Amino acid sequence: MPELVFFSGTMDCGKSTLALQIEHNRSARGLQGMIFTRDDRAGEGKLSSRLGLVTEAVEAAPGMDLYGHLVDQMSKGGKVDYVIVDEAQFLAPEQIDQLARVVDDLDLDVFAFGITTDFRTKLFPGSQRLIELADRVETLQVEAMCWCGARATHNARTVGGEMVVEGEQVVVGDVNRPAAEVGYEVLCRRHHRRRMTSAAARAAALSPDVLPVT
């Protein structure tokens, strides 16, 4: 039976890499997929991995009817055997409903990949709707690591190297941006609570020890 599957995890856990692997494996068997993405680091209409792999995709713009797009392509003779959606956390809840309809009405597997929570530890609306509707929710087994070596469970936003906990939910950035720009870092819960990024930890390590006062 076709399924709506949500592959979730923090940044750096291989979500986009797995999406590209699924595309490769299925296309090698002669199957044709439709790939949607939103705000990929490589630019509009791209699905990319931090390993350097990239492929063309359809930009799932705000307000776009994903179900209608697929029906339109298929009615014109286009072959679609499965659907891949990367950066699914950025989709609106109604677009997630459309993906569920793709599974139920078009009998297609839909593989959605995304981050569950934002830099404030709040659920993305798209991810919340996927958790509510998905046939399966899979946590990726490749564990991202905090700078301390512990398993990373939270996404942090940084500006100028310092962690911030206020601002718009969606601001496109990456883990390799200059410190003065908006960036993101994965942290364990302990260091996310303490707002202790890798830059803050380095600064603390370089600070002179405070001598006891007698």
Catalytic residues: 87
The one-letter amino acid code at 116 reads T
CB atoms within 10 A of CB 145: 15
Q: Please list, in sequence order, all residues whose beta carbon lies within 8 angstroms of the beta carbon of residue 108, skipping any fewer than 6 positions away.
A: 2, 70, 80, 81, 82, 83, 102
CB atoms within 10 A of CB 170: 12
Q: How far apart are the C-alpha atoms of 95 and 129, rounded to whole Å? A: 9
Structure token pair of residue 146 = 């905090």
* Nearest one of 31, 130, 150, 48 to 82, comparing CA atoms: 31
CB atoms within 10 A of CB 118: 19
* Nearest one of 94, 91, 169, 81 to 126, comparing CA atoms: 91
Q: Please list, in sequence order, all residues whose beta carbon lies within 8 angstroms of the beta carbon of residue 149, skipping any fewer than 6 positions away.
A: none
- Residue 199's alpha-carbon distances to 81, 118, 196, 202, in angstroms, are 45, 20, 8, 5
